Amino acid sequence: MQLHSWVWGTLKLATLRPPSQHRPEETVWTVLRRSAKEPVVCAVCGRVFPSAATLELHQRVHTGERPYTCPHCGKGFAQPNNLRVHLLIHTGERRYRCTLCGKTFNRPKKVEIHQRVHTGEKPFSCSTCGKMFSEAGNLRKHQRVHTGEKPYTCEMCGKGFAWIRNLKTHQQKSHPGRYRKSYVCKVCGKVFTGLSNLEAHERVHTGEKPFRCDTCGKRFSEAGNLKKHQRVHTGEKPFKPEQLEVP
């Protein structure tokens, strides 16, 4: 396989052969030594980059090279920034916060997508039926209704499903001895029977408190705790004295 790069109209050849087999004019370093301000074009896909250095990073898409490895799980990445974002999964760090509800995320793009819950924005439209979606991924999943695509297959019986949730439901009902529904916390390994229970537990690690009291502004990690707190302001006493007595 060969990669070609146009630099100011001059074709520079960068092969994937070992450096010992390169002629000086062929090496990728010939391209990289040129001015960082010179625009370059990837000859594989035609994308334009502001410098040879950024082109080199991009070419890993075509070569499959992933030199940056996660020390926790071994997953490889083509660019260091992608590794830094991935590491937040292991640390539980969520530095980006929704200004409307306080929910936190590990990427700014996820905050942008989440805020459509508050704004009602649905920029993605199905070309077949016109249904609108807030996320491109949800649109792609919906389109399987029209295409009949079933990318998820049960390894036990071979039955196909359009959505992974339907596959999991099928596996738990049809093959209960093999599949047991459980959710594991990636931080501490604790196991939960429901996804909502896992999500509530994960806030112990992230410090996220998405439930806010409208009266005093105090925040809580669980909706139930917020409801209990609000009785301080409302004066509500849902339990009669006799209900609180211990037999």
Residues 63, 52 contacting (CB under 8 angstroms): no
Q: Distance between CA atoms of 85 and 95, rounded to whole angstroms?
A: 11
pLDDT of residue 147: 94
pLDDT in tens, 6-59: 333 333 333 333 444 444 444 444 444 444 457 888 888 888 888 888 888 888
pLDDT in tens, 81-129: 888 878 877 777 777 888 888 888 877 888 888 898 889 899 999 999 9
| All domains in the chain, ordered by first residue | 124-178 (3.30.160.60), 183-234 (3.30.160.60)
**pLDDT > 70: what percent of the chain?**
77
- Find the helix or strand (DSSP H, E) in which 244 lies: helix 241-244
Question: What distance, in Å, lies between the first and last C-alpha atoms of the chain?
Answer: 80
